[in-house]
Homo-oligomer: A and B are copies of this chain.
Amino acid sequence: MPKVLNVAKRAGSQARKTSAGKTGTSHARDAEATQKRILAAAKKEFAMNGLAGARVDTIAEKAEANKRMIYHYFGSKEALFERVLEDAYADICRAEQSLKLDHLDPKTALETLVRFTWQYYLDNPEFLTLVNNENLQKAVHLHGSKVLPVISRNRLDMVESLLARGEKAGIFRRGIDAMQLNITIAAVGYYYITNRFTGSIIFDCDFMASGMLRKRLAFNIDTIVRTVCK
């Protein structure tokens, strides 16, 4: 075994490192901060390149952490991906819970929900990309997740009570399926944003130009309101 040789080499490299460290930055020993940096870097890298395209070395580099730390804290590339995904869902769940639609009249509340969904996607495009990637993998990393049932219950409850209020007020149609409505509210924003690159080529215009974004949001609100209101 090359044990002795390794020791010698390491001693040598250590000496070199002290004089001219390869990794420019050296972080204080702070487990939590390191994990956060790794998660943030991983989110970007996975969103940008997908699970297969993401490079563990790149994540380590961007996180200004050693690669070994990734395996120490998260076990494997896939486990890290799972964690990033779960965190992304937890984030949107938290954001949704801060929405207080009860104070608003039903129609305004509905518009607010559409607006919120749209803006969240715009502000967090990595969320869309991560979800896309996970669906590419047939969602194998999400079976047994504890966050997902919570987020769905939350959203369904919100929309169901909103629909009930609107019905009672006589301005919403009866018997609208809350799940289908939820899906449609997500769909009209999600599709436009995830497919903005091919979309911009197909329709020969910049999908992210502010005028275009404004038009799209207006169209989406109109679509949803017409679907729900009498």
What is A's interface to B at a CB cutoff of 8 Å? 49-53, 129, 131-136, 138-139, 142-143, 145, 148-149, 151-152, 156, 177, 179-180, 183-184, 186-188, 190-192, 194-204, 215-216, 219-220, 222-223, 226-227
Contact = CB atoms under 8 A, between A and B. Distances in A.
Q: Does more than half of chain A's interface fall in helix, strand or loop, or is it mixed?
A: helix
Contacts of A142: 197-198, 201
B52 A194 contact: no
Nearest to A224: B223
A191 B197 contact: no
B134 A132 contact: no
B203 A179 contact: yes
15 contacts: A49-B136, A50-B136, A52-B53, A134-B197, A135-B197, A148-B201, A149-B204, A156-B203, A180-B219, A184-B188, A184-B220, A190-B191, A191-B191, A223-B227, A226-B227
Nearest to A145: B201
Instruction: List the 6 shortest-distance A-B pairs measured between CB atoms, nearest first.
Output: A52-B53, A187-B191, A139-B197, A152-B202, A180-B219, A52-B52
Contacts of A143: 201
A171 B53 CA distance: 50
A152 B187 contact: no
B51 A219 contact: no
A152 B179 CA distance: 31
A186 B139 CA distance: 22
A156 to B, nearest CB: 8
A174 to B, nearest CB: 14
A185 to B, nearest CB: 10
Interface centre among A177, A179, A190 (most CB of B within 10 A): A179
A199 B197 CA distance: 24
Contacts of A202: 148-149, 151-152
B50 A194 contact: no
A55 to B, nearest CB: 10
